[in-house]
Amino acid sequence: MADDEVTAQLTSLRRSIDNIDAALIHMLAERFKATQQVGTLKAEHGLPPADPEREKRQIARLRGLAEEAHLDPAFAEKWFNFVVAEVIHHHEQIASGHR
């Protein structure tokens, strides 16, 4: 394959990756909008910021989805744990009156 063809393929693939990254950022923003609403509702009703039972169910669900999608389930779990840690931090801030 000629260098120009390789460069063109790389450019095309990277453009697709960039589009996917942009979509992921927008989806995460939407997810955090929803979790902020959850945090507000929990704070208004004196509920704890974390819900370990729901987190366990979500991990199991996401691991299954990852397997179906041929994505490493351990990676999916790490991603989820990272996101949940940030969500809990936000919920704690909301509960303490700091937004």
Instruction: Give the tens place of pLDDT for each residue, 45-72.
Output: 999 999 999 999 999 999 999 999 999 9
Burial 63-80 (b: 16+ CB within 10 A, else e): beebeeeeeebeebbeeb
What's residue 43's pLDDT?
94
What's residue 97's pLDDT?
86
C-alpha closest to that of 81 among 57, 99, 60, 55: 55
Domain ranges in the chain are 3-95
Q: What is the CATH number of domain 3-95?
A: 1.20.59.10
Q: How confident is the model at residue 99 (pLDDT cuts 50, 70, 90)?
A: low
Alpha helices per DSSP H over the chain: 3-44, 52-68, 73-95
Decide if 21 contacts 73 (C-beta within 8 A).
no
